[in-house]
Amino acid sequence: MKTIRIKDKTFAVSIPEEEILKQVKRVAEEINRDLAGRNPLFLAVLNGSFIFAADLLREVTVPCEISFVKLASYEGVSSTGAIKEVIGLAADITGRAVVIVEDIVDSGLTMVHMLDTLAKHNPASIDVCSLLVKPGNLKVSLDIKYKCLEIPNDFIVGYGLDYDGWGRNTRDIYTVVEE
Ligand code: IMP
Ligand code: MG
């Protein structure tokens, strides 16, 4: 078993690069079919989606633009836990077919907040495109139109995703090994 050590934890390969890229290509083809003639604006959520966005966009063949946003945690009183504020929205999304490019949807709370924020700017449509989804952790009903892979609730790293800032630069995706 191919394992790596990141900080204090051991991780084993769970999704090889080849499988990731196959699913990324499949989703890009769905987008090419659905959004033909719509000139979509992809909004990639930093930092985790940077590798996914790069691979996805190179498989997208419809005319499109890409822009990047970041989520900043802020200390607010909220019934739903830690809410993150969308920062850096530089593009004008009014009237646009927006596709949010995210690394992983876990509880879904971040995505719901993101959708609420973006909806205030009156886009023509907003679709969610996530590399990974943990269906077992979803706490809200959320329509994730484009998803590459569904995974169990275990913590993963690699291909852009991090453990405490580390491990983003691997080609495969790794799952934490219980010791
Ligand atoms: P949510 O609001 O619970 O859906 O949070 C999603 C965010 O949590 C993602 O954008 C990731 O930054 C982070 N996250 C959730 N699960 C994992 C994981 O297994 N590995 C790394 N980051 C994760
Ligand atoms: Mg993320």
Ligand 1 atom having least distance to the Cα of 103: 10
CB under 5 Å of ion ligand 2: residues: 48, 103
pLDDT surpasses 80 at 68: yes
Catalytic residue among 8, 34, 55, 106: 106
Ligand 1 atom having least distance to the Cα of 155: 19
Angle between helices 50-57 and 17-34 (to 10 degrees): 60
Q: What is the pLDDT of residues 125-151, one digit of tens each?
A: 999 999 999 999 999 999 999 999 999
pLDDT level of residue 104 (50, 70, 90 thresholds):
very high
Nearest C-alpha neighbor of 15 from the set 161, 165, 136: 161
What is the pLDDT at residue 1? 75
Q: What number of other Cβ atoms are within 10 A of residue 117's Cβ?
A: 15
Ligand 1 atom having least distance to the Cα of 113: 2
**Ligand lying closest to the C-alpha of residue 157:** 1
Q: How far apart are CA 50 and CA 159, in angstroms?
A: 9
Residues with CB under 6 A from ligand 1: 48, 103-111, 155-157, 161
What is the pLDDT at residue 10? 97
**Ligand lying closest to the C-alpha of residue 44:** 2
What is the pLDDT at residue 84? 79
Residues 6+ apart with CB under 8 A from 34: none
Q: How far apart are CA 178 and CA 112, in angstroms?
A: 31
The question of whether 106 is a catalytic residue gets the answer yes
The amino acid at 150: E
**How does 18-38 read in b/e, with b if 16+ C-beta sit within 10 Å?**
eebeeebeebbeebeeebeeb
- DSSP character string of 41-69: EEEEEETTTHHHHHHHHTT--S--EEEEE
By most ligand atoms within 8 Å of CB, the mutation choice from 11, 104, 112, 159 for ligand 1 is 104
Give the residue, by CA position, lying nearest to ligand 1 atom 3.
107
**Ligand lying closest to the C-alpha of residue 46:** 2
pLDDT surpasses 80 at 82: no
Q: What is the pLDDT of residues 7-47, one digit of tens each?
A: 999 999 999 999 999 999 999 999 999 999 999 999 999 99
* Helical H segments across 35-158, by residue range: 50-57, 109-119
Indicate the average pLDDT of the chain. Answer: 94
What is the pLDDT at residue 78? 47
